[in-house]
Structure 1
Amino acid sequence: MLPKINQMLYLQIASSDEEESVIEYRSRIADEEDTALHIEYPLSQKTGRIKRLFLGDELSVYFVSADGVKHYFDSHVLGFKEDESVRLVRIMKPDPEKMTKVQRRSFLRVPAYLDLAVQLSNNERFVCQTDDVGGGGISFICDPKWRLESGSSISCWLLLPYRNGSIEHVPFKAEIVRVQDLESGRLQAMSKFIEINDSDRGKIIRYCFEKQLEFRNRT
Structure 2
Amino acid sequence: MTGLYPKINDHLYIRIASSDASEEEIEYRSRIAEMEEESFLIEIPLGENTGRLKKLHIGDELSVYFLTGEGIKNYFYTHVLGFKDDVIRMVRIRKPDEDSIVKVQRRSFLRVSGELELACKTQGGERFLVRTEDVSGGGLSFWTDGKIKLNVGEQLQCWLLIPYRSGAGEHAGFGAEIVRMKELENGRNLAMVKFTNISDGERQKIIRYCFERQFDFRNR
> Aligned ranges for residues 142-181 of structure 1 at < 5 Å?
142-181=144-183
**CA distance in 1: counterparts of 2:203 and 2:213, whole angstroms:** 15
Q: Does 1:98 align with 2:97?
A: no
Quick check: 111-120 or 140-149, which moved more?
140-149
Residue 186 of structure 1: aligned partner? 188
Deviation at 1:10, TM superposition (A): 1.5
* Dislocated runs of 4+, deviation >6 Å: none
Share of identical aligned residues, percent? 57
C-alpha distance after superposition, 1:20-59 (max 9, x if no partner): 1232222111112111111122223333333221221101
Deviation at 1:159, TM superposition (A): 1.0
Residue 38 of structure 2: aligned partner? 35
C-alpha distance after superposition, 1:84-140 (max 9, x if no partner): 1x2221111111122222223211111111111111111111111001100111111
3-state SS of the aligned residue for 1:149? coil
Quick check: 98-107 or 182-191, which moved more?
98-107
C-alpha distance after superposition, 1:157-215 (max 9, x if no partner): 11111112111111111111111212221111111111112122111111111111222
Residue 214 of structure 1: aligned partner? 216
Judge conservation of contact 1:131–1:139 (CA < 8 Å) in 2. yes
> Aligned ranges for residues 1-219 of structure 1 at < 5 Å?
1-84=4-87, 86-218=88-220
3-state SS of the aligned residue for 1:138? strand
One-letter code aligned to 1:63 = F
Deviation at 1:146, TM superposition (A): 1.8
Deviation at 1:61, TM superposition (A): 1.2
Judge conservation of contact 1:131–1:140 (CA < 8 Å) in 2. yes
**CA distance in 1: counterparts of 2:52 and 2:204, whole angstroms:** 21
Deviation at 1:153, TM superposition (A): 1.0
**CA distance in 2: counterparts of 1:46 and 1:180, whole angstroms:** 45
User: Aligned pair count?
Assistant: 217
User: Under a length normalisation based on structure 2, what TM-score does the superposition of the two structures give?
Assistant: 0.92
Instruction: Structure 2: state its 5+ residue gaps.
Output: none
3-state SS of the aligned residue for 1:54? coil
**CA distance in 1: counterparts of 2:145 and 2:102, whole angstroms:** 34
**CA distance in 1: counterparts of 2:110 and 2:66, whole angstroms:** 16
